[in-house]
Chains A and B, each alone.
Chain A
């Protein structure tokens, strides 16, 4: 049974190359990948903002889309994977009809690096990256999913890479928070960028494009040359990583 890719709305719309890299890595690892084409958004923005009724419609849609197959669902985003694994259970906690469905989906949903390392048992894809990397351990991946080692293991295996670990610190994105509390978010971003600039990496790497979009947007605003990438392109080749 093949894996189902839940690309997330951000990767689908804004960072499709990252999605292609995800597919390429999974297929190199012998996985049959499918892309259920009705997929949209997991509903996290509305959930986190408190609009749970609105969120339910997106969550129910997403559950239906991935119930067509029983294959594992791989999500190249710690935050969206955490939404399905934890958020849906809270969302449907008092719904005896939907809760079992949410639980079943949660049980076969994995974040990308977690799936590769913990499910497939692979930590080295035999790739190289000659440059300086700063790994940003995103909050939901690290703290909600407890996926701490897999990205580090995959990055450590890259040949020729000077790898630096950032502390687990929020970049200030937080979804709607970034616009609802723009000034606070901007100060948090600034704090994080100072940590990044102290390392002077060529690339910042993470497993969440939402954080990366926030970080790169901030770096560009400052006129910095540092760029950001999701983990997957680094596991394919260097050109893709640099777009």
Chain B
């Protein structure tokens, strides 16, 4: 394995295009992290809290998993436990077969890569369609992801344009929005017609029996909303105890994962479609996969289970920056992968990855849940060495070194020998420029200093200069950091407006009386005649707007997806997808992140805010909170625990999967207009 690693590294290092793509990513993310973590005044305290939240979960994992499973079942989920990859894949195939699916749509999930799900599905005659833009691109290329968050980060726009041209038959282009549009059109068909949607799980909420999924493009929403059957695949350790832990963990995952305060969509999936829900899958399955995780809990690597798969350690790692994700030869690359891969899949196969690090600590510094990765890497190195693996000459050299260094006189002789050797070696301007193998590994790219003169121990003269301290200037007052502290208290409504706009959404204030006219003007400007809408009775603003728009001749559709009959469902989906806009209310909004809260349940279809290219949301100004934590506190999780699912939306659908270039409107609406009622 180690020899293959060296070959892949050699290949990566000689690929100058890859090197450039990786450098750009590293430098971009450095700035992004400085911004999104820099603005948190109490970052260290928050990281410590996040560490404790996750550590508590790992320590109590078996009992939390019991609670989680019970609550999920109470909420109507089918819960499956899989001890290994084989069992997990077999469970997915069985469910898909039972639905008569020959095709499944998938949102991004590393775990499905870990268990080799796509391969198993294909062998079973079921076509897996990756729907995350980056995953879609690498699936077309027959590659594997090179990054936890940005699977296609090793490619530039020309390389991707060529792939899309070859595989989708689109004209060759390096226009990123044209590439997005082509992928969107292809995948839209799949979403509307698939019988099974497969997603990963970012967090399971044990006490609520909920599954939380983050996505920016909206593909995660598609696969968990449109197909009649949803299968969520979750690593057994990906739990949070309670909904109150979400605000911090979602903030950290979004910031560390993609440099956002909150990723665009956060779906909290609680139940399958209930009797009076207008849409959503009738069946939700969850497969909780162990595959070595519970065994890791017991040992010295247990902290690796704290990982929330944000990928930040990859972005800051100087080794990853040089060799890229594919060199690691594992689903999990970078610092986290160098611990997780040997931890889950064996030291024999992956222990060598732990040595591909300078232990510089950048990973530990950025990790939002404070995993001490350098120490874990050291522990794997110890295991690896104690199993007799690794370079033979280094092992013997270090044995000799240790034998020499534990005795001062041997050290003295060793130094004299080395001095002689360096005196004989060829030099340039006093430094050695060539050494024989294996030391040539050093001199191939740097010179080496010569041992000159006497060592310090023989030349040191002590006590020449003592006692002159009185003349020295006194210490300056220490330069304490200015307290960043809590950000100045701002009006949540003003902040909400600023954040919505910053994210590429549009914000308007309106009175109840002028709202219908404003909407009419907007829609007729855009030439939109058909719109989907929420029909929740008792929402006065919505009623008023709908009455007005109905009288003005708009075709108003309150979606109701047919149950059972799949071809009727296909027809309905097709016609719903042709609507020009979706009109919803919002249960609440968060100022700091520009987020709106959309519960899904009777009269509140999920599709309305998902399928149309334009989403219009009406928010009451009284419902604007400072942030998610404040809302959950005020509500006691009331909405979260009554809706079939709850969606947080921060801005329009977006992706940065091609050259980190922001493109709006991938799978979800590309335009978001929020009317805030006074």
Smallest Cβ-Cβ distance to B358: which chain A residue:
A174
Smallest Cβ-Cβ distance to A167: which chain B residue:
B30
Contact (Cβ within 8 A) B395 A51? yes
- B181 beta carbon closer than 8 Å to chain A: no
Contact (Cβ within 8 A) A182 B431? no
**Most chain B CB neighbours (cut-off 10 Å) among A40, A45, A52, A61:** A40
**Which A21-35 residues sit within 8 Å CB-CB of chain B?**
23-24, 27-35
- B355 beta carbon closer than 8 Å to chain A: yes
Chain A residues whose CB sits within 8 angstroms of the CB of B463 once the complex forms: 27, 32-33
Smallest Cβ-Cβ distance to B411: which chain A residue:
A40
- Asked whether A41 and B358 contact (CB < 8 A) given A20-B459, A183-B9, the answer is no
Chain B residues whose CB sits within 8 angstroms of the CB of A214 once the complex forms: 446
Contact (Cβ within 8 A) B460 A50? no
What sequence of 0s and 1s flags, for each residue 450-469 of chain B, a beta carbon within 8 Å of any chain A beta carbon? 01011111011111111111
Additional A-B contacts beyond A174-B358, A177-B355 (9; CB < 8 A): A11-B456, A19-B456, A37-B457, A49-B394, A50-B384, A51-B382, A51-B385, A173-B358, A181-B9
- A202 beta carbon closer than 8 Å to chain B: no
Nearest Cβ on chain B to A175's Cβ, whole angstroms? 8
- B525 beta carbon closer than 8 Å to chain A: no
Q: Which of A19, A51, A170, A177 contacts B460 (CB 8 A)?
A: A19
Stretch of A66-74, A107-115, A118-126 contacting B (4+ beta carbons < 8 Å): A118-126
- B399 beta carbon closer than 8 Å to chain A: yes
CA distance A106 to B355 in the complex (A): 26
- A128 beta carbon closer than 8 Å to chain B: no
- Asked whether A174 and B357 contact (CB < 8 A) given A50-B384, A124-B476, the answer is yes
Contact (Cβ within 8 A) A220 B431? yes
Nearest Cβ on chain B to A135's Cβ, whole angstroms? 16
Contact (Cβ within 8 A) B441 A179? yes
Nearest Cβ on chain A to B423's Cβ, whole angstroms? 13
- B386 beta carbon closer than 8 Å to chain A: yes
What sequence of 0s and 1s flags, for each residue 195-217 of chain A, a beta carbon within 8 Å of any chain B beta carbon? 00000000000000000011011
Nearest Cβ on chain B to A52's Cβ, whole angstroms? 5
Contact (Cβ within 8 A) A49 B385? yes
Chain A residues whose CB sits within 8 angstroms of the CB of B444 once the complex forms: 182, 186
Contact (Cβ within 8 A) A55 B402? yes
**Which B30-67 residues sit within 8 Å CB-CB of chain A?**
30
User: Please, could you name 27 A-B residue pairs with CB atoms under 8 Å apart, sorted by A?
Assistant: A16-B456, A16-B459, A19-B456, A24-B464, A27-B463, A38-B408, A43-B405, A46-B398, A48-B359, A50-B355, A50-B383, A51-B395, A52-B385, A117-B475, A122-B473, A123-B476, A124-B473, A124-B476, A143-B361, A177-B355, A177-B357, A179-B442, A181-B355, A182-B444, A188-B322, A216-B431, A220-B433
Chain B residues whose CB sits within 8 angstroms of the CB of A176 once the complex forms: 394, 398
Q: Which of A47, A123, A170 contacts B358 (CB 8 A)?
A: A170
- B547 beta carbon closer than 8 Å to chain A: no
Nearest Cβ on chain A to B286's Cβ, whole angstroms? 38
Chain B residues whose CB sits within 8 angstroms of the CB of A90 once the complex forms: 375, 378
Q: Which of A16, A123, A169, A178 contacts B442 (CB 8 A)?
A: A178
Contact (Cβ within 8 A) A45 B13? no
The 4 closest A-B pairs by CB, nearest first: A174-B358, A217-B446, A50-B381, A30-B469
Contact (Cβ within 8 A) B453 A16? yes
Residues of B within 8 A of A (CB): 9-10, 13, 19, 23, 30, 318-319, 321-323, 355-362, 364-365, 375, 378, 380-386, 390-391, 394-395, 398-399, 401-408, 411, 415, 418-419, 428-429, 431, 433, 438-439, 441-442, 444-449, 451, 453-457, 459-470, 472-476, 479
Contact (Cβ within 8 A) B318 A9? no
- A144 beta carbon closer than 8 Å to chain B: yes
Chain B residues whose CB sits within 8 angstroms of the CB of A57 once the complex forms: 402-403, 406
Smallest Cβ-Cβ distance to A212: which chain B residue:
B449
CA distance A187 to B419 in the complex (A): 29
CA distance A43 to B399 in the complex (A): 11
Q: Which bucket holds chain A's interface residue count? A: 35 or more
- Asked whether A28 and B469 contact (CB < 8 A) given A16-B454, A35-B457, A124-B476, the answer is yes
**Most chain A CB neighbours (cut-off 10 Å) among B321, B357, B359:** B359
Contact (Cβ within 8 A) A121 B475? yes
Nearest Cβ on chain B to A176's Cβ, whole angstroms? 6
Nearest Cβ on chain B to A174's Cβ, whole angstroms? 3
Chain A residues whose CB sits within 8 angstroms of the CB of B433 once the complex forms: 220-221
What sequence of 0s and 1s flags, for each residue 74-91 of chain A, a beta carbon within 8 Å of any chain B beta carbon? 000000000000000010
Contact (Cβ within 8 A) B395 A48? no
Contact (Cβ within 8 A) A54 B399? yes
Nearest Cβ on chain B to A153's Cβ, whole angstroms? 7
Nearest Cβ on chain B to A58's Cβ, whole angstroms? 5
Contact (Cβ within 8 A) B441 A182? yes
Residues of A within 8 A of B (CB): 7, 9, 11-16, 19-20, 23-24, 27-35, 37-41, 43, 45-52, 54-55, 57-58, 60-61, 90, 117, 121-126, 139-140, 143-144, 149, 153, 167-170, 172-191, 213-214, 216-218, 220-221
Contact (Cβ within 8 A) B449 A217? yes
Contact (Cβ within 8 A) A188 B459? no
CA distance A7 to B454 in the complex (A): 14
- Asked whether A184 and B385 contact (CB < 8 A) given A40-B406, A121-B475, A179-B441, the answer is no
Contact (Cβ within 8 A) B445 A182? yes
- Asked whether A61 and B405 contact (CB < 8 A) given A124-B476, A139-B358, the answer is yes
Nearest Cβ on chain A to B338's Cβ, whole angstroms? 12
Nearest Cβ on chain B to A218's Cβ, whole angstroms? 5
CA distance A177 to B390 in the complex (A): 12
Smallest Cβ-Cβ distance to B364: which chain A residue:
A143
CA distance A214 to B456 in the complex (A): 21
Smallest Cβ-Cβ distance to A192: which chain B residue:
B318
Contact (Cβ within 8 A) B402 A16? no
Contact (Cβ within 8 A) A33 B462? yes
Q: Which of B23, B398, B462 contacts A51 (CB 8 A)?
A: B398
Chain B residues whose CB sits within 8 angstroms of the CB of A169 once the complex forms: 318
Chain A residues whose CB sits within 8 angstroms of the CB of B394 once the complex forms: 49, 176, 179-180
Contact (Cβ within 8 A) B454 A189? no
Contact (Cβ within 8 A) A170 B318? yes
Chain B residues whose CB sits within 8 angstroms of the CB of A184 once the complex forms: 9, 13, 319, 322-323, 356
Contact (Cβ within 8 A) A7 B456? yes
Smallest Cβ-Cβ distance to A5: which chain B residue:
B460
Contact (Cβ within 8 A) A174 B398? no
Contact (Cβ within 8 A) A9 B359? no
Chain B residues whose CB sits within 8 angstroms of the CB of A60 once the complex forms: 406
Contact (Cβ within 8 A) B405 A9? yes
CA distance A29 to B465 in the complex (A): 9
- Asked whether A143 and B362 contact (CB < 8 A) given A50-B378, A50-B381, the answer is yes
Chain A residues whose CB sits within 8 angstroms of the CB of B451 once the complex forms: 13-14
Chain B residues whose CB sits within 8 angstroms of the CB of A139 once the complex forms: 358-362
Contact (Cβ within 8 A) A28 B468? yes
Contact (Cβ within 8 A) A187 B13? yes
Chain B residues whose CB sits within 8 angstroms of the CB of A180 once the complex forms: 355, 391, 394, 441
Chain B residues whose CB sits within 8 angstroms of the CB of A47 once the complex forms: 378
CA distance A180 to B353 in the complex (A): 12
Contact (Cβ within 8 A) A23 B418? no
Nearest Cβ on chain A to B645's Cβ, whole angstroms? 41
Chain B residues whose CB sits within 8 angstroms of the CB of A125 once the complex forms: 472
Contact (Cβ within 8 A) A16 B441? no
Nearest Cβ on chain B to A187's Cβ, whole angstroms? 4
Q: Which of A122, A170, A190 contacts B362 (CB 8 A)?
A: A170
- Asked whether A29 and B469 contact (CB < 8 A) given A123-B475, A220-B431, A221-B446, the answer is yes
Contact (Cβ within 8 A) B449 A177? no
- Asked whether A218 and B446 contact (CB < 8 A) given A48-B359, A181-B356, the answer is yes
- Asked whether A50 and B406 contact (CB < 8 A) given A139-B362, A172-B358, the answer is no
